[in-house]
């Protein structure tokens, strides 16, 4: 797999550090190895891992993945929300990759490994192997309800739902900084790539902006300094929820991209929250000609922050 792009940065950065932040599925040691193997070039020149890159440098990466490497079944004790002969819905833990990724342990401890172990019956064949059809993805450090098709027919049906955005809705729970005073509101804006940082999305002077619509409901307050909100997204843009909340000054706790470092440190030390407090908890869709609603309960790290009286409202 070859990747080519130009940098968009303000200050010079070491190439290995820059790439390991840009490609979060790759460890820094993996990045250094492919640089040592001459699989990374800057402006058509072979480079060293401590080279500093600058704005508008052309980076080319050649990532070699063994296509025949078998993905083994692993018992990951999956939290299954619903399952039948065609589909399985899992309440995924944060920090578990959905698919295998090309690094030292690329084919281990992913959702695919866990589903292969869980589904003893036949799965669809992908690239010559029996593999589950993962229908959709979210950020790795978000916990969420994820749908997995067990056969081609269900996969095509679910793909159509996602493509047309009809007969399917996704709802999230988030804990955000400060007290949000408006009880119910809608944020509608254009979101695109941040021209000053290609790792971020923004609502201001963005590159290739697209309309994004989020509907918000305040469920209550935590210690009079955080707010528990429920969100329905009408459009599904990259980082949409995080960007929208940051745009009105209420970033999601634990978010390391659109963040407040001081509050995030407090969340780690006082509340042991080591990831962003965002959970995709409800999927509503048309399934077998019926309107179905599937709930993925909150994970323990977020539940620790929420008082019992608010938990009753979820």
pLDDT tens digits, residue range 282-292?
A: 999 999 999 99
State the angle between helix axes of 28-36 and 15-22 in degrees (0 to 180), rounded to the nearest 10.
130
Residue 70: inside a domain, yes or no?
no
**CB-CB neighbours of 95 under 10 Å:** 12
pLDDT tens digits, residue range 150-203?
A: 888 998 899 888 888 889 999 999 999 999 999 999 999 999 988 887 778 999
pLDDT tens digits, residue range 28-76?
A: 777 888 888 888 999 988 888 789 999 989 998 887 655 445 778 899 9
Q: Is the pTM here over 0.85, yes or no?
A: no
Residues 177 and 300 in one domain: yes
Say which CATH number the domain at 33 has.
Answer: 3.10.290.10
Residues 6 and 51 in one domain: yes
The contacts of residue 160 (CB under 8 Å, 6+ apart) are none
112 pLDDT above the threshold of 60: yes
Q: Residue 52 is part of which domain span?
A: 2-62
Which among 164, 179, 203 is the end of a domain? 164
Residues 58 and 126 in one domain: no
Quick one: pLDDT band at residue 26, thresholds 50, 70, 90?
Answer: confident
Residue 112: inside a domain, yes or no?
yes
Helix (H, G, I), strand (E, B) or coil at 273: coil
What residues are labeled active site? 139
Say which CATH number the domain at 96 has.
Answer: 3.30.2350.10
Residues 198 and 265 in one domain: yes
Residues 118 and 142 in one domain: yes
Question: Looking at the 3D structure of the chain, how many domains does it have?
Answer: 3
Residues 178 and 281 in one domain: yes
Residues 139 and 195 in one domain: no
Which among 164, 180, 203 is the end of a domain? 164
Chain centroid, CA 176 distance in Å? 18
Residues 177 and 304 in one domain: yes
Residues 175 and 305 in one domain: yes
Chain centroid, CA 70 distance in Å? 25
Residue 252: inside a domain, yes or no?
yes
105 pLDDT above the threshold of 60: no
Residue 261: inside a domain, yes or no?
yes
Average pLDDT, integer, range 233-242: 92
Residues 87 and 41 in one domain: no
Residues 114 and 148 in one domain: yes
127 pLDDT above the threshold of 90: no
Residue 32: inside a domain, yes or no?
yes
224 torsion bin: left (phi>0), alpha (psi -120 to 50), beta (else):
left
């Amino acid at each position: 797999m070859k990747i080519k792009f130009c940098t968009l940065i303000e200050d010079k950065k070491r190439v290995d550090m820059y790439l390991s932040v840009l490609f979060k599925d790759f460890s820094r040691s993996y990045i250094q190895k492919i640089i040592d193997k001459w699989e990374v070039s800057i402006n058509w020149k072979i480079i060293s891992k401590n080279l500093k890159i600058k704005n508008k440098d052309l980076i080319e990466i050649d990532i070699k993945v063994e296509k025949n490497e078998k993905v083994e079944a692993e018992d990951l004790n999956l939290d299954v929300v619903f399952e039948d002969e065609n589909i399985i819905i899992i309440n995924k833990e944060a920090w578990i990759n959905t698919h295998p990724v090309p690094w030292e342990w690329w084919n281990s401890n992913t959702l695919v490994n866990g589903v292969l172990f869980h589904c003893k019956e036949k799965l669809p064949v992908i690239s010559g192997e029996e593999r589950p059809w993962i229908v959709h993805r979210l950020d790795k450090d978000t916990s969420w309800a994820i749908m997995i098709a067990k056969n081609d027919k269900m996969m095509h049906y679910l793909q159509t739902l996602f493509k047309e955005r009809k007969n399917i809705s996704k709802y999230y729970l988030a804990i955000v900084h400060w007290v949000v005073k408006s009880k119910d509101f809608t944020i509608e804006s254009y979101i695109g790539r941040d021209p000053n940082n290609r790792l971020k999305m923004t609502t201001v002077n963005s590159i290739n902006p697209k309309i994004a619509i989020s509907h918000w409901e305040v469920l209550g307050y935590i210690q009079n300094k955080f707010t528990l909100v429920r969100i329905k997204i009408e459009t599904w843009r990259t980082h949409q929820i995080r960007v929208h909340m940051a745009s009105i000054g209420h970033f999601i706790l634990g978010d390391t991209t659109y963040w407040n470092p001081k509050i995030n440190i407090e969340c780690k030390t006082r509340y042991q929250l080591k990831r962003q407090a965002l959970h995709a908890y409800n999927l509503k869709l048309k399934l077998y000609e019926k309107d179905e609603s599937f709930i993925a309960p909150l994970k323990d790290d977020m539940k620790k922050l929420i008082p019992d009286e608010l938990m009753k409202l979820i």
